[in-house]
């Protein structure tokens, strides 16, 4: 009598296995988003209504404010632009101490405008840990009270976080050694990350490679800071190779969170930028460098994929800032981070959508936009050595087989066989596949075994293709 137990044919198992691998390789890592900070410490800015039109004309779909100005929020109503608002540091004490104060603030500043104005998040305070008024003890209680107020108004889709500066880190180099300052961990960092984890929110981080370069120009390559072609920096702790200073800074924050067991918390870069003008001692502040940094960053974000440590996490960034603000105190650079003059003319030419991006910068021929369709040479796909040999080999097998990559150059005796390492061969194969797929979003993933870079990979004398 035949057994009633069914058996799956071997051929079907092989097919299912292949389909599973194929799906994992094809899983698209969504491209990140580019927003802009709309600061208003100036006496010559256009009206909020004109600013909204400017944002729409430029294709900017996310904006971050430093307050809850009723004029601005009203102007943004019905625009389709997602808005991050802020509860300023000076209100943290009252918000932390009194739930009714938080309730009233949410009623007056959030529920009165939402959903006509698409408020997506609230920044409770800004760089609180360096606030000279010592508002740090009030931060997490204030965040919790604002959240409680959102619950009462049935507005929990709005996320709550608080931007931190990189000065919250005790160590940031190499990135793998990232750690928070010990005196912050127990009183505020852990409670804040726990709150973000529980509410499904993310950590807001303000990161400026300009400051690191300015202070260490004799040690940091300008190309490394500006996302321009460079030889890269290998992290001695985890072996990952970095081609941009911003990636290393963000991974230092990820490493710091991991060190205290908060690996699941995501991140949004709420401020980053480069000044177009500075004082004589502000090394690197120039229009060409600002164009290069912001233009290359936009391209970096919109091509998809994350940092070397978190390659599957897309980058979401807010450029600082929309306008040059003539009333900001401090060095000249503080008044010259703007992408636009108050006249609404661009300070330099970059675009904010996938249709084009600028490279610009010192040493380049020009700073004109380059359309994505003819974007050959702007991005490459390389292997993530941390993914492990099994994933790398599976990726090579797919790319060089079903994927149709040209893997002849990595055969023994061919031009790119050396260096004879799995990571080098995988990088070549992955990039060949990526270029053949017209550098489409998600075609440089390979189940987390690859990520996009904006600098040409360097493996001995091997030259990587930039298009077919």
pLDDT digits (tens, 9 = 90+) for 13-72: 444 444 444 444 444 446 799 999 999 999 999 999 999 999 999 989 999 999 999 999
Is residue 278 scored above 70 in pLDDT?
yes
- The more confidently predicted of residues 324 and 385 is 324
Model confidence at 140, pLDDT cuts 50, 70, 90, reads: very high
CB contact at 8 A, 380 and 305: no
Residues 184, 129 contacting (CB under 8 angstroms):
yes
**pLDDT of 438:** 81
Known catalytic residue: 423?
Answer: no
Backbone angles phi and psi of 363, in degrees to 5: 95, -10
Question: What single string gives the DSSP state of each residue in 429-446?
Answer: HHHHHHHHTTT-TTSS-G
Angle between helices 139-152 and 190-199 (to 10 degrees): 20
* pLDDT tens track for 288-321: 999 999 999 998 898 777 899 998 898 999 999 9
Share of the chain above pLDDT 90, in %: 69
- Read off the pLDDT of each residue in 328-345 and give the average, rounded to a whole number: 97
Note the pLDDT of residue 354.
59
Give the active site residue among 53, 90, 120, 127.
127
d(CA 388, CA 467): 27
Query: Exposed, middle or buried, 9 (CB in 10 Å: 0-12/13-18/19+)?
Result: exposed
User: Counting Cβ atoms within 10 Å, is residue 82 exposed (0-12), middle (13-18) or buried (19+)?
Assistant: middle
* Phi, psi of 206, deg, nearest 5: -100, 120
Q: Is the peptide bond before 174 cis (omega within 30 degrees of 0)?
A: yes
Position 379 scores a pLDDT of: 81
Contacts of 193 (CB under 8 A, 6+ apart): 203, 257, 260, 262, 265
- pLDDT of 344 reads 96
Q: Which residue has the higher pLDDT, 389 or 9?
A: 389
**Share of residues in the chain with pLDDT > 70 (%):** 88
pTM, two decimal places: 0.75
203 dihedral zone (left: phi>0; alpha: psi -120 to 50; beta)? beta
pLDDT of residue 378: 66
Tokens of 342: 């108050």
Distances (CA, A) of 32 to 54, 62, 352, 466: 22, 12, 12, 22
**271 carries an active-site annotation:** yes
Higher pLDDT, 463 or 173: 173
Neighbours of 258 (CB within 10 A): 17
- Confidence band, pLDDT 50/70/90 cuts, at residue 126: very high
> What is the three-class DSSP state of 157?
coil
- Compute the distance between CA of residue 205 and CA of residue 189 in angstroms, rounded to an integer: 13
Which of helix, strand or coil describes residue 357? strand
| Bridging pattern class, strands 316-319 and 266-272 | parallel
Strand partners for 268: 204
Of the residues 214, 271, 325, 423, only one is catalytic, namely 271
Q: What is the pLDDT of residue 247?
A: 96
**Section 328-347 average pLDDT:** 97
Which tens digit of pLDDT belongs to each residue from 167-200? Answer: 999 999 999 999 999 999 999 999 999 999 999 9
Q: Which two tokens stand for residue 144?
A: 């919790």
259, pLDDT greater than 70:
yes
Res. 251: pLDDT tops 70: yes
Q: How many CB atoms lie within 10 A of CB 460?
A: 11
Is 133's pLDDT higher than 80?
yes
């Amino acid at each position: 009598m035949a057994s009633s137990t069914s058996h799956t044919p071997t051929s079907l198992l092989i097919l299912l296995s292949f389909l599973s691998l194929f799906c994992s390789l094809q899983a698209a890592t969504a491209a990140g988003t580019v927003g802009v900070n709309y600061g208003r410490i100036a006496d010559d800015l256009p009206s909020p209504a004109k600013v909204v039109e400017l944002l729409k004309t430029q294709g900017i779909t996310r904006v971050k404010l430093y307050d809850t100005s009723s004029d601005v929020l009203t102007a943004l109503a019905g625009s389709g632009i997602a808005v991050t608002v802020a509860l300023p540091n000076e209100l943290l004490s009252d918000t932390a101490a009194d739930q009714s104060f938080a309730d009233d603030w949410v009623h007056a500043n959030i529920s009165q405008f939402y959903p006509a104005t698409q408020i997506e998040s609230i920044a409770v305070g800004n760089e609180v840990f360096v606030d000279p008024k010592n508002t740090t003890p009030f931060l997490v209680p204030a965040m919790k009270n604002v959240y409680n107020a959102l619950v009462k108004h049935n507005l929990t889709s709005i996320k709550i976080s608080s931007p931190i500066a990189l000065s919250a880190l005790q160590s940031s180099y190499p990135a793998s050694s990232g750690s928070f300052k010990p005196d912050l961990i127990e009183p505020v960092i852990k409670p804040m990350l726990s709150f973000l984890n529980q509410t499904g929110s993310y950590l807001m981080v303000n990161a400026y490679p300009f400051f690191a370069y300015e202070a260490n120009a004799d040690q940091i390559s300008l190309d490394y800071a500006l996302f321009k072609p460079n030889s890269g920096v290998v992290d001695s702790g985890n072996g990952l190779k970095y081609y941009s200073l911003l990636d290393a800074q963000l991974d230092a924050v990820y490493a710091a969170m991991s060190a205290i067991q908060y690996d699941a918390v995501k991140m949004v870069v709420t401020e980053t930028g480069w000044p177009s003008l500075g004082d004589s001692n502000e090394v690197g502040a120039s229009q060409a460098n600002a164009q290069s940094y912001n233009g290359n960053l936009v391209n970096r974000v919109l091509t998809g994929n994350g940092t070397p440590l978190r390659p599957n996490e897309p980058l979401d960034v807010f450029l600082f800032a929309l306008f040059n603000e003539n009333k900001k105190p401090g060095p000249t650079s503080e008044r010259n981070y703007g992408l636009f003059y108050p006249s609404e003319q661009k300070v330099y030419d970059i675009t904010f959508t996938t249709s084009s991006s600028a490279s610009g910068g010192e040493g380049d021929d020009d700073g004109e936009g380059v359309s994505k369709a003819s974007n050959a040479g702007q991005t490459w796909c390389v292997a993530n050595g941390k993914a492990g040999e099994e994933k790398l080999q599976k990726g090579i097998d797919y790319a060089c087989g079903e994927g149709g990559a040209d893997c002849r150059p990595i055969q023994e005796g061919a031009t790119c066989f050396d260096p004879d390492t799995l990571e080098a061969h995988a990088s070549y194969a992955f990039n060949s596949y990526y270029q053949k797929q017209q550098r489409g979003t998600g075609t440089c993933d390979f189940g987390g075994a690859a990520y996009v870079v904006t600098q040409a990979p360097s493996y001995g004398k091997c030259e990587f293709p930039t298009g077919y």
